[in-house]
């Protein structure tokens, strides 16, 4: 496995998430951070988008998925996002962080970080 990483920070999406009744009725802000482990050698040499992960199309997939999801837990949303990332052939592993700002009184946010690798 290589140690090259593409990162996406503070991707903000609006989705239904939470266990409270009111949370099931109103979309809330969620922040997503991604770190994709790839081998960037070929892309670094060729300077071609085809030789790397097109993170613009990947984030479109993640946004569409998240905004249409109805997860109860940030853990479930993070797992689903990790599986979307691992569908891309060049992604060897992914670290996904999902944060829910304002979920706890006196805390900026609550979230989870998971790390998944290609089977």
Residues in a beta bridge with 109: 101
**Cα separation, 85 vs 104, whole angstroms:** 29
Q: How far are the Cα atoms of 4, 46, 63 from residue 1, in angstroms, in the given order?
A: 9, 20, 28
**Cα separation, 71 vs 114, whole angstroms:** 16
**Residues 100, 110, 115, 116: which is the catalytic one?**
100
Question: Which residues, in sequence order, are CB contacts of 43 under 8 Å at separation 6+?
Answer: 49, 51, 52
Annotation says 100 is catalytic: yes
In total, the chain counts a number of residues equal to 119
Q: Catalytic site residues? A: 100
């Amino acid at each position: 496995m290589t140690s090259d990483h593409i990162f996406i920070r503070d991707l903000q999406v609006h989705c239904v998430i939470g266990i409270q009744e009111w949370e099931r009725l109103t979309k809330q802000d969620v922040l997503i951070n991604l770190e994709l482990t790839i081998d960037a050698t070929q892309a670094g040499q060729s300077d071609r988008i085809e030789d790397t992960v097109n993170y613009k199309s990947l984030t479109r997939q993640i946004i569409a998925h998240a905004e249409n999801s109805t997860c109860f837990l940030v853990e479930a949303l993070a797992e689903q996002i990790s599986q979307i990332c691992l569908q891309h052939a060049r992604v060897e592993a992914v670290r996904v962080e999902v944060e829910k700002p304002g979920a706890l009184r006196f805390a900026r946010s609550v979230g989870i970080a998971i790390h998944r690798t290609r089977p």
